[in-house]
């Protein structure tokens, strides 16, 4: 090792406290870079595994009209494939439609089909059926049993009764069974009138795969094709949008980390450079070149890189492992179809290489300015002990008289000191202000976002939506009553169109002649009565048989851009097509309704705007004379998962089919995503703040150290220890207060901007809530950091002998 590097190494070892702080800052910075890379890579790998578990390991599916070109695919090397196509719609007695696909046995591997029992069919007379179909239809079929059912064969168009042997029962936990219930072995050609599909998995994915897909598509005459998510995740598919999005996200996060880290670590190197300035001057006087002096700073960077990068990578991986463990409970909640895939830390040599490269670049950029300064140090610095810092005028150091009156002579000195060393001041102020702004902004953003997502700022929305035929209305009502759901309402609707175009205000609508679609809605009596009373009307007045009286719902009525004239009291005409149009599809029915009131919205609370008319249930059913119109139940309950399961069981018991949308579970999933996002964002901010705190401690500690002689001199002329403490505290807390003076307005401005952006883009009513407590807490934390830094560095000065300090000069 050359003498300049030896000198640097000894300097680093001699200044243990500062070196440890610098090393910690490097470790935290590297840990963040590692965490970001590892988290993104692990998530992508997790998604791949999850997709592979739920969707299988296929990459591309080609579609053909009629039969697939089997001869062509036999000649393609390096692929595994399966030919499939829906061939029959089956109807077992007393059960719902059973859609049967014909496929090669490779479908088991390519679509990750798992067996509850039995095996894949060995002939076209055998089927593999999902457990869900059997459960939903309450069928007690056994593997090996033969069952008769009506079959509509797509290949021939013939309907007949066929017998199938149940070869196996498959778990309905893969996407393959979302659009079919059973599969049989493909033995011959597929339908001439239907689509045939070839699902392909490439042995190896590389940059040429996308070209191969195009070639296969072109040469085999595929009329359509689609790629799997697994293929898209690989990065080799033509569609780079997903990876581009991940890449942009990664770049933004890394840019923030690098920028913050450079700012913080650079200061550590600058502090070290200032300490070594005189040595460098001495070296220059005995012939050290600019390159050698510059090299000494880079070497210092190398020392911290060699120690900090491996430790940082270890800390980052450990941090992510702990974080994954902490959020593991939320993972099944956010997946649409939980597959049992575990989120665990994945590492790849390229991830390590990327981390090392970004970290090394961060440290190198941090060294650049101190290194340039070091190369310019002249021997005069050593010979004359000159301070190369910028000279400041006496005018700049002038302090207002009031300052001295308020805080005494120590206060005035503190103010002068702050002005004397603007560089240290800027470092501390910026680091503190940035931490406070980041913390406040992210906290207010997540609070607003949470309110927006959960709608907590407005009203509670239904947890379960159940769409079911009206014939089961009473069954569902009595079931819900027995389960004591918190609340519910039901609505039924019928589409109609406005005939009375004189009601339209907008010229374009009138002249354009476009149709004006309306919904005629009826709610349950309780909901209808409460709603109508709220509008100041008598519910019974809207139930009378002397003409239809309705509430006109017009969301534009409360806006500046009204679509309709005030219809209150007017009789308007609408038309609709009756349900039974099989005889004459052009048949329409005209209806006249008197508008009792105009409202901005209906009684529902889910926030979806619609335009139409609300009539009483009685009127609705008598007017439309529909045979069991579909009704939607909107249920409020805390136990939406259990209620959904119980409701499904009940519906199966009575043989009713229903569409159930579990908004509560969806909300829970959104909350889980939010929690995970918060864990990462706060973790990220905590680490950034940690670097900032180290930077502040380093700056204050070094500033105290550099000025030991000055403090001794002040004490030698009679300043008491209390006075000295007072001066130092005022000086440093001054930095803290300046930082807060910047940070609070900036945070408030960012809060306002975020509120504006969110309220504009989402059109959701979220309240603007100032957060004084958050500001107070952040301010207190910032000042606590200053106090901690002072405690850390004050021990050097406290009991120091005045003469020893003065002699050091």
Partner 1 sequence: MKILETIGLCKTYGSGDTMVKALDGVDLTVEKGEFVAVVGPSGSGKSTLMHIVGGVDSASDGKVLIDSTDVTALDETALAIFRRRQIGLIYQFYNLIPILTVEENLTLPLLLDGRKVDRRQVENIAERLGLTDRLKHLPSQLSGGQQQRVSIGRALINNPALVLADEPTGNLDSENSREVISLLRQFNRELGQTVIMITHDEGIAASADRLIEIRDGRIVRDEGGRI
The residue (of 483 and 708) whose beta carbon lies closer to partner 1 is 708
Q: Please name the helix (run of DSSP H) or strand (run of DSSP E) that holds residue 84, with its range, or none.
A: strand 79-92
C-alpha 185/C-alpha 664 separation (Å) is 41
| Helix extents (H) in 57-142 | 70-74, 107-110, 131-136
Residue 752: CB minimum distance to partner 1, A = 51
Contact 103, 186 (CB under 8 A): yes
Q: Phi and psi of 59, rounded to 5°?
A: -115, -45
Distance CA 654, CA 733 (A): 74
Q: Minimum distance between the CB of residue 805 and partner 1, rounded to whole angstroms?
A: 16
* Maximum separation of any 2 CA atoms in the chain, in Å: 113
Give the Cα separation of 40 and 45 in Å (integer): 9
Cβ-based nearer residue to partner 1, 5 or 667: 5
In the complex with partner 1, which residue's Cβ is closer, 291 or 501?
A: 291
Min separation Cβ 295 and partner 1, Å: 11
Min separation Cβ 796 and partner 1, Å: 18
Please provide the DSSP assignment of 594-662 as one string: EEEEEESS-S--S-----EEEE-HHHHHHHH--SS--EEEEEE-S-HHHHHHHHHHHHHHHT--EEEEE
Question: What is the Cα–Cα distance from 260 to 694, expressed in whole angstroms?
Answer: 12
| Least CB distance to partner 1 at residue 749 (A) | 45
State the minimum distance, in angstroms, from the CB of residue 725 to partner 1: 30
**Shortest reach from residue 25's CB to partner 1, in Å:** 23
* Identity of the residue, 2 or 571, whose beta carbon is nearer to partner 1 in the bound complex: 2
Q: Tokens 């499939």 belong to which residue?
A: 84
CB of 40 or CB of 282, closer to partner 1: 282
CA torsion sign, 56 to 57 to 59 to 64? negative
Q: Record the tokens describing residue 120, joined without a space.
A: 């894949």
Provide, rounded to whole angstroms, the least separation between the CB of residue 801 and partner 1: 17
Pick between residue 372 and residue 534 the one whose CB is nearest to partner 1.
Answer: 372
The residue (of 29 and 375) whose beta carbon lies closer to partner 1 is: 375
Q: How far is the CB of 320 from partner 1 (least distance, A)?
A: 40
Taking the C-alpha atoms of residue 294 and residue 371, their distance in angstroms, rounded to an integer, is 5
Choice between 160 and 289, CB closer to partner 1 = 289
d(CA 69, CA 76): 11
Q: Which residue ranges make up the site for partner 1 (CB under 8 A)? A: 2-4, 6-7, 10-11, 14, 279, 282-292, 378-380, 382-383
Q: Round to whole Å and give the CA distance between 152 and 160.
A: 7
CB of 281 to partner 1, least distance (A): 8
**CB-wise, 383 or 752, nearer to partner 1?**
383
**For residues 387 and 641, what is the distance between their CA atoms, to the nearest angstrom?**
72
Of 382 and 431, CB closest to partner 1: 382
Q: What does the H/E/C string look like for 730-775?
A: HHHHHHHHHHHHHHHHHHHHHHHHHHHHHHHHHCCCCCCCCCHHHH
């Amino acid at each position: 090792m050359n003498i300049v590097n030896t000198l640097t190494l000894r300097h680093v070892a001699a200044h243990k406290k500062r070196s440890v702080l610098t090393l910690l800052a490097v470790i935290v910075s590297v840990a963040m870079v590692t965490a970001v890379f590892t988290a993104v890579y692990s998530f992508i790998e997790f998604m791949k595994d999850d997709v592979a578990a739920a969707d299988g390991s296929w990459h591309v599916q080609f579609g053909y009209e009629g039969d697939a070109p089997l001869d062509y695919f036999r000649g393609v090397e390096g692929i595994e494939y399966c030919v499939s196509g829906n061939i029959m719609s089956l109807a077992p007695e007393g059960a719902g439609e059973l859609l049967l696909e014909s496929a090669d046995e490779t479908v088991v591997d390519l679509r990750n089909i798992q067996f509850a029992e039995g095996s894949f069919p060995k002939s076209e007379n055998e089927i593999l059926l999902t457990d869900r179909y059997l459960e939903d239809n309450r069928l007690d079929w056994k593997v090996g049993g033969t069952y008769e059912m009506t079959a509509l064969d797509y290949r021939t168009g013939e309907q007949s009764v066929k017998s199938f042997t149940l070869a196996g029962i498959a778990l309905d936990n893969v996407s393959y069974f979302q659009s079919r219930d059973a599969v049989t072995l493909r033995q011959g050609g597929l339908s001439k009138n239907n689509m045939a599909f070839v699902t392909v998995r490439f042995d190896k994915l590389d940059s040429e795969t996308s070209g191969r897909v195009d070639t296969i598509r072109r040469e085999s005459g595929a009329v359509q094709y689609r790629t799997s998510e697994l293929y898209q995740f690989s990065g080799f598919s033509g569609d780079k949008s997903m990876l581009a999005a991940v890449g942009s996200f990664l770049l933004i996060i890394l840019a923030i980390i690098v920028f913050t880290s450079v700012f913080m670590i650079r200061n550590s190197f600058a502090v070290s450079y200032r300490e070594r300035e005189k040595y460098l001057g001495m070296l220059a006087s005995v012939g050290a070149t600019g390159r050698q002096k510059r090299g000494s700073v880079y070497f210092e960077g190398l020392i911290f890189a060699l120690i900090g990068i491996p430790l940082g990578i270890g800390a980052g991986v450990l941090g992510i492992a702990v974080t994954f463990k902490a959020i593991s409970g939320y993972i099944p909640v956010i997946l649409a179809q939980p597959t049992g895939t575990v989120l665990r830390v994945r590492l790849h040599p390229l991830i390590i290489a990327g981390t090392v490269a970004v970290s090394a670049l961060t440290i190198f950029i941090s060294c650049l300015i101190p290194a340039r300064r070091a190369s310019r140090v002249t021997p005069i610095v050593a010979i004359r002990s000159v301070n190369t810092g910028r000279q400041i005028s006496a005018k700049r150091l002038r302090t207002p008289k009031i300052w001295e009156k308020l805080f005494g002579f120590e206060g005035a000195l503190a103010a002068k000191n702050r002005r004397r060393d603007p560089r240290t001041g800027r470092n501390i102020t910026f680091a503190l202000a940035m931490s406070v702004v980041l913390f406040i902004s992210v906290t207010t953003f997540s609070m607003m976002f949470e309110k927006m997502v959960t709608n907590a700022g407005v009203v509670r929305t239904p947890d379960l939506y159940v769409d079911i035929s009206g014939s089961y209305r009473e069954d569902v009502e009595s079931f819900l009553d027995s389960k004591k759901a918190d609340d519910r309402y039901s609505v039924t609707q019928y589409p109609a169109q406005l005939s009375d175009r004189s009601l339209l205000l907008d010229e374009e609508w009138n002249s354009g002649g476009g149709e004006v679609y309306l919904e005629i809605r009826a709610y349950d009596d309780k909901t209808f009565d409460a709603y109508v009373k709220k509008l100041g009307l008598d519910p019974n007045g809207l139930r009378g048989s002397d003409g239809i009286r309705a509430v006109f719902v017009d969301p534009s009525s409360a806006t500046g851009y009204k679509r309709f004239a005030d219809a209150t009291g007017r009789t308007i005409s609408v038309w609709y097509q009756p349900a039974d149009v099989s005889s004459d599809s052009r048949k329409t029915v005209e209806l006249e309704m008197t508008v009792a009131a105009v409202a901005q919205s209906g009684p529902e609370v889910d926030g979806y705007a619609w335009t139409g008319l609300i009539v009483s249930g009685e009127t609705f059913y008598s007017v439309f004379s529909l045979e069991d119109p579909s009704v939607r139940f909107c249920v409020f309950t805390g136990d939406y998962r259990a209620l959904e399961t119980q409701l499904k069981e009940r519906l199966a018991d009575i043989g009713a089919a229903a569409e159930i949308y579990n908004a509560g579970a969806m909300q829970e999933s959104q909350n889980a995503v939010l929690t995970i996002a918060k864990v990462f964002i706060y973790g990220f901010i905590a680490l950034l703040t940690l670097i900032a705190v180290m930077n502040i401690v380093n700056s204050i500690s070094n500033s105290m150290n550099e000025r030991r002689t000055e403090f001794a001199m002040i004490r030698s002329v009679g300043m008491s220890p209390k006075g000295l403490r007072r001066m130092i505290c005022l000086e440093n807390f001054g930095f803290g207060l300046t930082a807060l003076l910047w940070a609070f307005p900036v945070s408030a401005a960012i809060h306002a901007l975020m509120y504006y952006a969110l309220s504009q883009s989402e059109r959701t009513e979220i309240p603007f809530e100032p957060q004084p407590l958050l500001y107070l807490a952040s301010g207190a934390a910032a000042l606590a950091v200053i106090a901690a830094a002072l405690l850390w560095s004050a021990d050097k000065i406290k009991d120091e002998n005045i003469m020893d300090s003065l002699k050091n000069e």
